[in-house]
Amino acid sequence: NLRFAGLLYLCDADAEQTCTMLKTDKKLRRYCKFILHALQQPEIDSPYALKKLLFQSDFPTVSDLLCLRAICTGRSDTQWQQMLQQLQQTPIYLRDLKINGTQLKALGIRNTAISQTLLYLIDCVHKDPSCNQTQQLLQLAQKYNESHD
């Protein structure tokens, strides 16, 4: 899969169109689209940028991406891989938050505001993992929703 995505990148091919023509499965199509999109993004130069990528995918895919990026840029991926290993111990996904939608409903937050609030909270935790505490997240959620009403 990584070689295929790398080939698409080097050929400057449209992943969606190429995968459709080759009748690849949806999983490979999503994988290639993610890899190609991420390769076109600015440099991954911080744990925060890496967490944003992980939030969109998973550890093996991001590890593949870092390897391919290193090959394409002619640089070592050691620093990125070390950051990735360190991040495995930090909150990345919504399920890692010490708060959930039910607790947000109890605050009076409703419907789509719940998902927007959770995305805001995970972004806060990506920037500062120490704020992944129930009370602190509830306070952040309350402030966020007061400013977005």
Query: What are the pLDDT digits (tens) for 26-38?
Result: 888 888 888 888 8
Conformation bin of residue 109: beta by default, left when phi > 0, alpha when psi is -120 to 50: beta
Q: What is the pLDDT of residue 103?
A: 93
CA distance 102 to 107: 9
Structure-token pair, residue 74: 């002619």
Structure-token pair, residue 143: 């402030």
**With 0-12 CB in 10 A as exposed, 13-18 as middle and 19+ as buried, what is 99?**
buried
Q: What is the pLDDT of residue 143?
A: 93
Give the chain's residues under pLDDT 50: none
